């Protein structure tokens, strides 16, 4: 027998009745979080259940009550505040708010009070009273993530919702670029600029979230923060795509004669016309009048064309005589001085008989850019393909020193760099020559004995 898809009416049906075998998924984290917010769900149902006009009335009264500065509100104050509203609808709405636990009635003092559930619901309904509806979804998500991070109440679900919204925006902008429509591109480009501005303002908070997740060892939060950073980078990379698409649209624009009017202007004007069919009214009211030209007029025109002054053709000119080439200089780009400084340091260590040295003195110093350049020079040490080259690069490759990085990291005493990987510079083939400190101490003890 076929199971009844509606085992009970909508009012009597349980949530589990909508699933197969009447069992709800227990491993769904989102469902578990929704079950914890039964009060908020009931409050939303109390506000939005019924006709649209009644829902709008409830929302308006609820928002007005939440905006009143007094913590305790008497019924007389509510009557004065809602003096334009009839008594019956006001009493009906206040009764619904009391039943939904959004307003608390103190019978001893005859006053209303706002409940914590109402304050939580106000945060959910705040996008309804924002001044700009465009990009309100992204604004609210970024504000929730940044605010929750500052308060220490950040939840992975908030990062998931923000990442999903960034992915939806990316797909929307990609469709606009693929459409090739100039007007669609310009509308999407304007919204793209606002989205970039919002993401850049919240980038500091997103970076702090990633660092905090690493420090706390929260693997899930760290993974979501990295995925959110990738979604943010994908969105930022679309700026060049928009520019190329708009340039392509500009190249396809055609100017109509010498009037300066382009096809874009004509299309914009046509879009502003409400009834395009009215443009053809009266177009065929007048018949076509042919223009007849007599034979003598054609002859006069031909004679004038033949007698018209023609420009003289250019005369042949001899090639210019040979001239000596001007003297010039061949400019050769010189290498940065850091390579010479590093080679001088390595040579000085070799002459002093050093076998192993710490990596930090050879890399740090000057600025972050110089230290980064020196770190990029280290793979040249011992490079077989570069040892046969002449010049500073070949000299660097022929140095006897080799770099040995370790998995350890730590702080360094430098003005521009605070953290780097540990490592040493060791002469090639001198691993066995490094004295064992424990063995030397044993020999010293035996000698003293």
Rounded CA separation 267/270 (Å): 5
- The angle formed by the CA atoms of residues 272, 274 and 278, to the nearest 5 degrees, is 115
Q: Are 64 and 81 in contact (CB under 8 A)?
A: yes
Cβ neighbourhood burial of 271 (10 Å; 0-12, 13-18, 19+): exposed
The 10 Å CB-count burial string (b at 16+, else e) for 138-147 is bbbbbebbbe
Rounded CA separation 270/265 (Å): 9
Task: For residue 3, give the 3-state DSSP assignment.
Answer: coil
> For residue 422, is pLDDT > 80?
yes
Q: Check residue 403 and give its pLDDT.
A: 87
Average per-residue pLDDT for the chain: 76
> For residue 441, is pLDDT > 70?
no
> For residue 135, is pLDDT > 60?
no
pLDDT tens digits for range 321-356: 888 888 877 766 666 778 888 888 888 888 888 888
pLDDT tens digits for range 59-117: 888 888 888 877 788 888 888 888 888 888 888 888 888 888 888 888 778 888 888 88
Name the region of 332 (left: φ>0; alpha: ψ -120 to 50; beta: rest).
beta
Q: Check residue 446 and give its pLDDT.
A: 45
pLDDT class for 364, splitting at 50, 70, 90? confident
Neighbours of 219 (CB within 10 A): 10
Rounded CA separation 439/427 (Å): 21
Which H or E run includes 72?
strand 72-74
Query: Which of 63, 64, 96 shows the shortest CA–CA distance to 79?
Result: 64
Rounded CA separation 428/3 (Å): 79
Least confident of 37-41, 59-63, 123-127, 410-414: 123-127
DSSP 8-state symbol, 210 = H
Residue 190, phi then psi, degrees to nearest 5: -65, -45
Q: Are 112 and 72 in contact (CB under 8 A)?
A: yes
pLDDT class for 7, splitting at 50, 70, 90? very low
What domains can be seen in the chain, in order of their start residue? 37-126 (1.10.10), 136-249 (no CATH), 337-433 (no CATH)
Query: Which of 177, 293, 290, 285 shows the shortest CA–CA distance to 237?
Result: 177
pLDDT tens digits for range 192-251: 877 777 777 667 777 777 777 777 777 777 787 778 778 777 877 777 787 788 777 777
Q: Check residue 449 and give its pLDDT.
A: 37
């Amino acid at each position: 027998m076929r199971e009844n898809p509606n085992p009970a009416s909508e009012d009597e049906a349980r949530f589990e009745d909508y699933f197969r075998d009447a069992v709800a998924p227990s491993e769904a984290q989102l469902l578990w979080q929704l079950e914890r917010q039964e009060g908020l769900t009931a409050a939303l149902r109390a506000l939005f259940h019924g006709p649209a006009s009644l829902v709008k009335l409830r929302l308006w009264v609820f928002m007005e009550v939440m905006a009143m500065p007094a913590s305790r509100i008497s019924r007389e104050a509510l009557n004065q505040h809602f003096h334009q509203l009839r008594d019956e609808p006001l009493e009906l709405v206040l009764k619904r708010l009391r039943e939904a636990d959004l307003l608390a009635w103190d019978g001893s003092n005859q006053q209303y009070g706002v409940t914590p559930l109402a304050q939580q619901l106000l945060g959910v309904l705040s996008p309804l009273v924002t001044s700009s509806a465009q990009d309100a979804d992204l604004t609210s998500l970024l504000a929730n993530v940044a605010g929750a991070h500052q308060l220490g109440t950040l939840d992975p679900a908030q990062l998931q919702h923000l990442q999903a919204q960034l992915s939806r925006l990316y797909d929307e902008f990609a469709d606009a670029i693929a459409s090739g429509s100039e007007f669609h591109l310009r509308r999407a480009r304007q919204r793209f600029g606002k989205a970039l501005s919002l993401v850049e303002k919240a980038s500091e908070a997103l970076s702090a979230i990633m660092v905090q997740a690493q420090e706390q060892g929260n693997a899930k939060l760290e993974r979501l923060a990295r995925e959110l950073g990738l979604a943010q980078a994908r969105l930022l990379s679309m700026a060049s795509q928009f520019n190329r698409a708009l340039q392509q649209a500009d190249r396809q624009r055609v100017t109509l004669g010498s009037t300066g009017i382009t096809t874009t202007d004509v299309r914009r004007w046509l879009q502003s016309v409400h009834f395009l069919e009215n443009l053809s009214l009266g177009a065929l009211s007048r018949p076509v009048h042919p223009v007849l030209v007599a034979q003598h007029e054609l002859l006069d025109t031909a004679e004038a064309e033949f007698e018209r002054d023609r420009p003289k053709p250019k005369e042949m000119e001899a090639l210019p005589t040979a001239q000596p080439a001007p003297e010039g200089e061949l400019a050769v780009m010189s290498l940065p001085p850091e390579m010479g400084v590093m080679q001088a340091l390595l040579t000085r260590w070799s002459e002093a008989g050093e076998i192993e040295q710490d990596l930090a003195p050879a890399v740090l110093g000057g600025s972050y850019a110089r230290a980064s350049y020196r770190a990029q020079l280290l793979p040249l040490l011992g490079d077989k393909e570069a040892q046969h080259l002449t010049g500073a690069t070949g000299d660097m490759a022929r140095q006897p020193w080799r770099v040995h990085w370790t998995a350890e990291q730590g702080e360094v005493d430098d003005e521009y760099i605070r953290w780097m990987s540990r490592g040493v510079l060791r002469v090639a083939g001198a691993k066995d020559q490094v004295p064992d400190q424990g063995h030397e101490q044993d020999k010293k003890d035996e000698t003293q004995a």
